[in-house]
Every structure is written in C-alpha cells, then in structure tokens.
Amino acid sequence: MADLKERQEIKVAKTVKEVRHQVKIWKKEGKSVGLVPTMGFLHAGHGSLIKRAVAENDVVIVSDFVNPTQFGPNEDLESYPRDFEVDRKFCQELGAAMIFNPEPSEMYDNPKTYVNIEGLSDGLCGAKRPIHFKGVCTVVSKLFNITGAGRAYFGEKDAQQLAIIRKMVKDLNFDVEVVGCPIVREADGLAMSSRNTYLSGDERKAALCLSKSIAKGKEVIHKGMSTKQLISTMSQVIQGEPLAKIDYLEVVDGEMLKPVEIIHDPVLVAMAVYIGKTRLIDNFSWNPEEPEV
C-alpha cells in the first residue's frame, strides 16, 4: 500500500472547499483519513509523523499553514521559515495524499469565535506566550472540522501543546484519535525544530546544552526525589553555557500540567531556553514504574 501511495501525485489544496470535496470522495470509498498538522518548513521530525500517519491510515492530509493567531505581537510570524515547494515534494515522497496550504484569509475571515483552554495554558510556554494556545486550539479545531480526520498526529517535543490538544478533544468530544509521536533528534542530540535554522554556528553548538541537561536529568531522576534538586542539577548544565538563558525548567504532571514538588508519579520535565535570541524547547517524560529512559 505504501508503494502505491508514493507513486501517486500529491494533491495540493488551497481552499476548505477543495479539501472537503476530496475527503467526501475518500470517505465514500471507505478510506480512513489521517491528519498531520504542521506550519511547514518540514524536517525529519515532521517526517516521522507523516510516516506513521501513512502507515496507519488509507490517506493522509498534511496541513502546511503558518497560523497567525498563535503568534504574539513581538514574535516571529513574518520571519518564520517557509518553503512550500520543498514541503510539497517531502510530503509526496513520504506518501501523503494531500497537502493543505491555505492563505490566512481562507482560514480567518474576521473571526469572532475562538477555542480557549483554561489552566493548562497558563504555565510553561503559556506563561510568556499568553495567546499562543488559544491560536493553536482554534486552528487545530478548524483543521479537525475541515478534514474530518479520524486520527491526528502531533510531536511530543511540543509536550504542552499535545496535553492541551488531548484535553480539548476530550472536553469538546471531537471524534478524532490524537496520536503523540516521539521527539526526533539530530545525531548530536538537538531536538529537531524549524526554528533551529535561526541558530548561528556558535549558537548551534551552544544549543546542545538542552539535550545534555535532559541526559543529566534522566541519569539522576528517581522516585521520591525533590523537583528542586532535579531542576538545580539540570540547570547547572545549561548555566555552564554562556550563550544560553533559561526561560523555564519545570516538573509537572503530564496530563493537567500542574507543578510537582516530589516525584512519585509520572512526570513531564519541560524546558524553554534562549540561545541568543532563539527560544528552543525540549522535554522528557518519566514514569517511576517504568524507570528505563
């Protein structure tokens, strides 16, 4: 089935109408539809989501849309990297059936309705990016409605986003299975991100302090440990790098994202670190009942 998918020319949809028309045909044919929401400038991390979606669904739609509502006023909406033609070929090679690349005006026509989530969006990345998750929840809800996908694939690198989308799907009874996929790393450990392209040569080297701090955290974490101790040990690794500045480094429960003081149950250890002007995120999850990491 994968070979056949690879040979077919990928459909490019620019409008909601085009997507709905094609999905109607696929559904009449009894085909299952998978969705991989992205903001484009695709890398191997996105590739792992697309490959998994292609393996688990009859047809896969990749959305390629830099969503303006999730960027704050001083963020990188304008400079966010874009290369649609490269993305199109990448999706084609991996066997996706359609790439949805709408203009902002197709997605937003003077909107007055948004999807917001309480509590889970207050901390971690949400503390410094107050409108970010409202924009994410709104666009992801729209993509669910537009594509009618039965499964949707998200990376675990954006752990807060994944927890928020799972909760939103539960709260609003979306008929979609949310599939979380493991973080994909460069050979030297840096988590893949479209924003890695912002890093200069020296910053690229400095950025390794995130994955090194995670490796240290995995080494020392144990049941009954205090969060304070874990954070202090992990912070030291980052603070040893002059180009790095910690935005946050926190230990929370992986579902409701509430801060944890002593590690007894499964936790999410999440960080955002500035390397020069570029803000990078990374994380790991740890379960005391399955301590191998």
Q: Provide the binding-site residues for ligand PAF, judged by CB under 6 A.
A: 37-39, 67, 70, 136, 139-140, 158, 161
Q: Which is nearer to ligand PAF, 66 or 238 (CB)?
A: 66
Beta carbons of 157 and 283 less than 8 angstroms apart: yes
Q: Which is nearer to ligand PAF, 50 or 140 (CB)?
A: 140
Q: Which is nearer to ligand PAF, 70 or 121 (CB)?
A: 70
- Token look-up 């302090």 returns 209
Distance (Å, whole) CA 278 – CA 15: 33
Minimum distance from residue 139 beta carbon to ligand PAF (Å): 5
Minimum distance from residue 218 beta carbon to ligand PAF (Å): 24
Q: Which is nearer to ligand PAF, 109 or 289 (CB)?
A: 109
Sheet holding 33-38, edge to edge: 11-13, 98-100, 59-64, 33-38, 151-155, 177-181
Beta carbons of 17 and 104 less than 8 angstroms apart: no
Minimum distance from residue 34 beta carbon to ligand PAF (Å): 14
Q: What does the block give as tokens for 50?
A: 């697309």
Minimum distance from residue 38 beta carbon to ligand PAF (Å): 5
Please enumerate in sequence order all residues whose Cβ is within 8 A of that of 13, keeping only pairs 6 or more positions apart, or say none: 19, 22, 98, 99, 100, 101, 102
- Token look-up 């729209």 returns 142
- Token look-up 């974490």 returns 221
Comparing CA positions, the residue from 71, 76, 99, 77 lying closest to residue 86 is 99
Distance (Å, whole) CA 154 – CA 163: 10
Annotation says 46 is catalytic: yes
User: Active site residue: 43, 46, 132, 222, which one?
Assistant: 46
Q: Which is nearer to ligand PAF, 158 or 282 (CB)?
A: 158
Minimum distance from residue 265 beta carbon to ligand PAF (Å): 27
Distance (Å, whole) CA 233 – CA 225: 12
Minimum distance from residue 106 beta carbon to ligand PAF (Å): 14
Beta carbons of 66 and 102 less than 8 angstroms apart: no
Q: Which is nearer to ligand PAF, 48 or 70 (CB)?
A: 70
Residue 62: its H or E element = strand 59-64
Would you please indicate which residues are annotated as catalytic (active-site) residues?
46
